[in-house]
């Protein structure tokens, strides 16, 4: 079976993330979306369970996609799920710099694990979870940037009818 692993924080999942996951699902037999449980570099707004639920609801139409939490090294999870490819979406050169470093470290830990990059679709190249969180926090409309379940959660949190 051809398995791809798509690790990320997904805080929250955006329509850009879903675009990449959908495209990956068309290329692989199985896609495991791994939600980072304890992000090393950033604090998260939503719990791991909530981020996983957002993804599960948003990818329910993709029969070959499943969501799991990840604690620890991505290479360990890749071995556990039988993935030989990590797939990461890239929006800009700044994404590449960080992802390139991670790919080299992962390759050092597991030379058989490849990293594949998908460029963001042009309509999502500007989209980031941190930008979405800021817009929602200050009452802006994010309904076209995130799945409905996420927009609804922002509306609950910030009381905005627009979110």
Distances in Å between the Cα of 151 and the Cα atoms of 34, 102, 143, 148 are: 21, 31, 5, 5
Quote the pTM value. Answer: 0.93
In the chain the domains, ranked by start, together with CATH numbers, are 3-122 (3.40.50.620)
pLDDT digits (tens, 9 = 90+) for 8-63: 999 999 999 999 999 999 999 999 999 998 766 678 999 999 999 999 999 999 99
For residue 155, is it left (φ>0), alpha (ψ between -120 and 50) or beta?
alpha
Query: Are 17 and 65 in contact, with CB atoms under 8 Å apart?
Result: no
For the beta carbon of residue 80, count every other beta carbon within 10 angstroms: 12
Q: Judge whether residue 7 has pLDDT over 60.
A: yes
User: What span, in angstroms and rounded, lies between the C-alpha atoms of 21 and 15?
Assistant: 10
Q: Judge whether residue 161 has pLDDT over 50.
A: no
**Percent of the chain scoring above 70 in pLDDT:** 96
The two tokens of residue 84 are: 């030989």
User: What span, in angstroms and rounded, lies between the C-alpha atoms of 86 and 66?
Assistant: 15
pLDDT digits (tens, 9 = 90+) for 64-112: 999 999 999 999 999 999 999 999 999 887 788 889 999 999 999 999 9
Q: Judge whether residue 162 has pLDDT over 70.
A: no
User: What span, in angstroms and rounded, lies between the C-alpha atoms of 2 and 26?
Assistant: 11
Give residue 38's pLDDT. Answer: 78
Q: How many CA atoms lie within 13 A of 49 on its CB side?
A: 0
Give residue 126's pLDDT. Answer: 92
Give residue 84's pLDDT. Answer: 95
Give residue 1's pLDDT. Answer: 76
- Binned at pLDDT 50, 70 and 90, residue 160 comes out as low
**Percent of the chain scoring above 90 in pLDDT:** 85
């Amino acid at each position: 079976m051809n398995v791809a692993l798509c690790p990320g924080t997904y805080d929250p999942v955006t329509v850009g993330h879903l675009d990449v996951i959908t495209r990956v699902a068309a290329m692989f037999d199985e896609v495991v979306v791994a939600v980072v449980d304890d992000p090393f570099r950033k604090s998260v707004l939503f719990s791991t369970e909530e981020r996983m639920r957002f993804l599960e609801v948003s990818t329910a139409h993709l029969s070959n996609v499943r969501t799991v939490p990840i604690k620890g090294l991505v290479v360990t999870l890749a071995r556990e799920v039988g993935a030989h490819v990590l797939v990461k979406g890239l929006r800009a050169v700044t994404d590449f710099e960080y992802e390139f470093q991670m790919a080299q470290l992962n390759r050092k830990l597991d030379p058989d694990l490849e990293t594949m990059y998908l460029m963001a679709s042009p309509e999502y190249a500007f989209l980031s979870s941190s930008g979405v969180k800021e817009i929602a926090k200050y009452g802006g409309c994010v309904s076209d940037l995130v799945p409905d379940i996420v927009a609804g959660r922002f509306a609950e949190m910030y009381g905005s009818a627009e979110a």
